[in-house]
Structure 1
């Protein structure tokens, strides 16, 4: 399975809806999800979508480790790396 990247994250967020898609254009990597308009429930939905697409398990508490899109991408890739090594 390929690595998870910012484009994939943006695709999931766009499909989730709830915010102006223009807010996802440009460099959002270090912008907090809350500033982009995503609350904790939206982040749980993001995690659920990632779990389904990539077959990884993300705990609800992991949302705290993903305050920005860049941190989310890094976190998901760490799970994918661990899964590949298992």
Structure 2
């Protein structure tokens, strides 16, 4: 039996890579361990359906709700990580 879920307070690049790989896999030609922070998701092989799945996984794992346009407005890993962390900080303030 699993214990209580502890809210995570920071979303990292490693979290994003793990969630992308778990949810949608990776194009064999794309090295997610490379310098991809400023590469748009489409160039990394992640289309809208894969990003929708990724967003759902982030929401469940981090107990937050992301804006519907989070991937449209944040088309690179660096921008998405910043947006998720902003949402986490806002959620922490509401819970405080």
TM-score of the aligned structures, taking structure 2 as reference length: 0.81
- Give 3-state SS (helix, strand or coil) of 1:33's partner: coil
Q: Does 1:40 align with 2:48?
A: yes
Change (3 A) 1:21 1:77: farther
Higher helix share: 1
Aligned to 1:69: 77
- Give 3-state SS (helix, strand or coil) of 1:82's partner: helix
Q: How many aligned residue pairs are there?
A: 86
Max Rg structure: 2
CA RMSD in angstroms, aligned pairs only: 1.5
Which ranges of 4 or more aligned residues in structure 1 deviate by more than 3 Å? Answer: none
Q: 1:32·1:68 contact (CA, 8 Å) conserved in 2?
A: yes
How much does 1:21 deviate?
Answer: 7.7
